[in-house]
Structure 1
């Protein structure tokens, strides 16, 4: 789908200029660009507000406590949709004639349920029926969004990324209630898997059918510790995106099973903010953690460049524009080193 030695970004970029962000992403990532997010523009450009604008027959407005479900689309929904349209316009401008993988992102059903409030102020996560309705609304919205991306960039092969940074907390019962004195009960892993699978299948529908080569692969991203690799693999994720520095040996078995099942690893190997002047001096050194993981798991070196996509550890919204450009270019060089020297 994205080829050997691939590199891409996670989602967010610094600044407020959609055209500049699209120019940077498409120029730095010629073989696997993505639709940038620009949260610095304010509410509605943040990942929750942006995804809330995609929902079908479910609307959200901004309250002092966060995003809350409303009865009708208001100015917050209109703003979110307008900014997304601006981003798509910029992407379309800089992808004229492009053919290849193109990634778009949205918040997944469980992080959305943990972040969107019901009318009373509690998270939708606390109501099983509301969670089901939210997943259905998201699935419908993503079908339309992916179809729009394909219309604007007809040569692209879309890849959908679901951002699920709260998924581990949802599964462990660590999402606080509105009062902050309690937490919501843990969501059953089978229920969590089922909602994610529903969205994966919605992406397939957006491709026009289940024939080989037509399916839109879904990548699930989490920059939190304890990514549930096994659950995501069973839900149908074609790739799992994570912060490589947070991986521990406790994850080895699940990671190995994912790779052997054909699941791609989107390894966040490059810092999302500049730690020091030497951060981007050694592309091969940036993916040394991936090589170490491969040896520890006893996986074939021939699988390395095919199974790993190199990315920043998380979104680049907190970086300077110069570092964001340099980090994306560094990801490309680091990914190329896995092809040139798989050992």
Structure 2
């Protein structure tokens, strides 16, 4: 099975963002395997404290998980920074196994990853998906004790990028036990605020460099790099980055996304994919009333509109389309979670059979 995402077998497949409202990883994993059997992911359960900032931050020098802070005044902070870079080089230059380092994800940190490995072993999947908090969201979400985001400190920004890169690589190497084709999504909700007053002084070049660091490691590990943003952003930033897959809230932001016609055309020409977040998990009232047919008609309209704007054939755009919820399902009720899963599975089947 090729690791190339351009293989037509992926077209129209459904996949998930990762979060569930459950407290039991096996229950969530059973639903994943039932409703997204072609490209399963591992579940994250916010109800069990699996927050996107804390879950991937262990190993960062001076990190305090209780306050989501980094304290440069912590004992042995400078020595810990030195050990961080020594371990990083031991992996990247000397071939030390990630499992022996701070960059490994333990069963205590990411139990859903290990439950998926156990429950799905021996399955026949088109691909398998992992996810990790992206470097921009992590470095802007974690703060110093004075409230300043780590992203504004070049050294800490660098360490966050390296930490995310090798934890992404660890996921890819681990998930290859289930499929040779691994998709790794960077979850970057903070990019919705890029260019606003929330991130004054953050340059485009700094964001691009931060993303590129992680994407390079994903590619070195043989994975496919995707990015998920659940709000609106400067889509040219991501379309010009070396991602294979862009995932966004297509239910609410499709017009703004499609307005980047030239960038989208170039993205598709070089082999890119769009994962359309059409199941409205961010809008409970919309989720309650939506139907598979309604979402299918919305999808067809988006493909037609994109074809008109880019001059690309609808067939090509359909072949490069995946389907997802607009965001994770961690805040939904169990009944609405099932509704979202049923809509996604039904929409995928409808697209594939059209």
TM-score interval for Structure 1 and Structure 2 normalised by the shorter chain? 0.7 to 0.9
Q: Aligned equivalents of 2:255 and 2:286: distance in 1? A: 27
Deviations 1:17-49 (A, max 9, x none): 01111111111111011111101112xx11111
What is the 5 A alignment of 1:80-229? 81-99=106-124, 100-150=126-176, 153-169=177-193, 171-175=194-198, 184-207=199-222, 216-226=223-233, 228-229=234-235
Quote the residue 1:322 is aligned against.
Answer: 335
What TM-score, normalized by structure 1, do the two folds share? 0.82
What TM-score, normalized by structure 2, do the two folds share? 0.79
Shift of 1:337: 1.9
Q: Aligned equivalents of 1:12 and 1:233: distance in 2? A: 25
1:6 maps to 2:5: no
Deviations 1:304-331 (A, max 9, x none): 4322111111100111223223322321
Q: Aligned equivalents of 1:168 and 1:86: distance in 2? A: 29
Query: Tell me, what secondary structure is at the counterpart of 1:49?
Result: coil
Query: Residue 139 and residue 188 in structure 1: after superposition, are their counterparts in 2 closer, same or farther (change >3 A)?
Result: same
**Tell me, which stretches of 5 or more residues in structure 1 are unaligned?**
176-183, 208-215
Q: Aligned equivalents of 1:240 and 1:296: distance in 2? A: 18
Deviations 1:212-261 (A, max 9, x none): xxxx11110001112x3322232211111111133254432244443343
Query: Residue 279 and residue 51 in structure 1: after superposition, are their counterparts in 2 closer, same or farther (change >3 A)?
Result: farther
Query: Residue 117 and residue 277 in structure 1: after superposition, are their counterparts in 2 closer, same or farther (change >3 A)?
Result: closer
Shift of 1:119: 4.2
Shift of 1:57: 4.9
**Are 2:279 and 2:344, in contact at CA under 8 Å, matched by a contact in 1?**
yes
1:259 aligns with one of 268, 283, 297: 268
Query: Residue 9 and residue 326 in structure 1: after superposition, are their counterparts in 2 closer, same or farther (change >3 A)?
Result: same
**Tell me, which stretches of 5 or more residues in structure 2 are unaligned?**
72-76, 81-101
Q: Aligned equivalents of 2:239 and 2:150: distance in 1? A: 25
Q: Aligned equivalents of 2:39 and 2:167: distance in 1? A: 24
Q: CA RMSD in A?
A: 2.5
**Are 1:269 and 1:312, in contact at CA under 8 Å, matched by a contact in 2?**
yes
**Are 2:132 and 2:187, in contact at CA under 8 Å, matched by a contact in 1?**
yes
Greater CA drift, 10-19 or 184-193:
184-193
What is the 5 A alignment of 1:23-102? 23-42=30-49, 45-53=50-58, 56-58=59-61, 60-63=63-66, 66-69=67-70, 71=77, 81-99=106-124, 100-102=126-128
Quote the residue 1:210 is aligned against.
Answer: none
What is the 5 A alignment of 1:258-337? 258-272=267-281, 274-275=284-285, 279-280=289-290, 282-297=291-306, 298=308, 299-337=312-350
Q: Aligned equivalents of 2:70 and 2:43: distance in 1? A: 25
Q: Aligned equivalents of 1:291 and 1:261: distance in 2? A: 23
**Are 1:193 and 1:234, in contact at CA under 8 Å, matched by a contact in 2?**
no
**Are 2:15 and 2:39, in contact at CA under 8 Å, matched by a contact in 1?**
yes
Q: Aligned equivalents of 1:88 and 1:168: distance in 2? A: 27
